[in-house]
Amino acid sequence: MRKRITPRRRATVGGALLAVTAMITMGMQSGTATAGPDTSKLGKPDAGELPVKLSAPQRADLLKAASDTRAETAKALKLGAKEQLKPRDVVKNADGSVHTRYERTYDGLPVLGGDMVVHETKSGTIEGVDKATKARIEVATTKATEKAPSLKKEAAEPRKVIWAAQGKPTLAWETVAGGTQKDGTPNELHTITDARSGEKLFSYQGVHNGTGNSQYSGKVTLGTSGSAGSYSMNDTGRGGHKTYNLNRGTSGTGTLFTDADDVWGDGTATNTQTAAVDAHYGAAETWDYYKNVHGRSGIRGDGVGAYSRVHYSSNYVNAFWQDSCFCMTYGDGSGNQAPLTSLDVAAHEMSHGVTAATAGLIYSGESGGLNEGTSDIFAAAVEFYANNPDDVGDYLVGEKIDINGDGTPLRYMDKPSKDGASKDSWYSGIGGVDVHYSSGVANHFFYLLSEGSGAKEINGVKYDSPTYDNLPVTGIGIKDAEKIWFKALSEKMTSNTNYAAARTTTLSAAADLFGQSSAQYTAVANAWAAVNVGSRPGGGDPGGGDQYENTDAYRIPDPGTVESPISVTRDGNAPSTLKVGVDITHTYRGDLRIDLVAPDGTAYRLKNTSTTDSADNVKATYTVNASSEKASGTWKLRVTDIYRTDAGTINSWKLTF
State the amino acid at position 85 in one-letter form.
L
Choose, from 120, 174, 188, 349, the residue flagged as catalytic. Answer: 349
Among this protein's residues, is 491 annotated catalytic? no
Burial class (CB in 10 A: 0-12, 13-18, 19+), 19: middle
User: Rounded distance, CA 356 to CA 103, Å?
Assistant: 13
Span between the terminal Cα atoms of the chain, in Å: 36
Tell me if 506 sits within 8 A of 533, measured CB to CB: no
Nearest to 173 by CA among 154, 140, 201: 201
Three-class secondary structure of residue 97 per DSSP: coil
354: closest CA among 298, 429, 425?
298
* Residue 563: active-site member: no
What is the C-alpha to C-alpha distance for residues 210 and 54, in angstroms, rounded to an integer?
29
CA distance 646 to 32: 67
| HEC secondary structure over 9-67 | CCCECCCCCCCEECCCCCCCCCCCECCCCCCCCCCCCCHHHCECCCCHHHHHHHHHHHH
- What is the C-alpha to C-alpha distance for residues 349 and 206, in angstroms, rounded to an integer? 13
Gap between the Cα atoms of 646 and 113, Å rounded: 29
Report which DSSP code applies to 645: S
Decide if 606 contacts 595 (C-beta within 8 A): yes
CA 144 – CA 160 distance, rounded (Å): 8
Q: Which of 294, 436, 444, 586 is catalytic?
A: 436
Distance in angstroms (rounded) separating the CA atoms of residues 235 and 305: 9
Give the C-alpha separation, 592 to 554, whole Å.
Answer: 14
Distance CA 351, CA 489 (A): 11
N residues, the chain: 657
- The DSSP bridge partners found for residue 412 are 396
Residue 603 DSSP label: E
Per-residue DSSP letter, 61: H
**Cis peptide bond prior to 559, omega within 30° of 0:** yes
Q: Which amino acid is it at 283?
A: A
Which residue type does 635 have?
W
Please give the radius of gyration of the chain, using alpha carbons only, rounded to the nearest integer: 26
User: For residue 304, with 0-12 CB atoms within 10 Å meaning exposed, 13-18 middle and 19 or more buried, which class applies?
Assistant: middle
Active site residue ranges: 349, 436
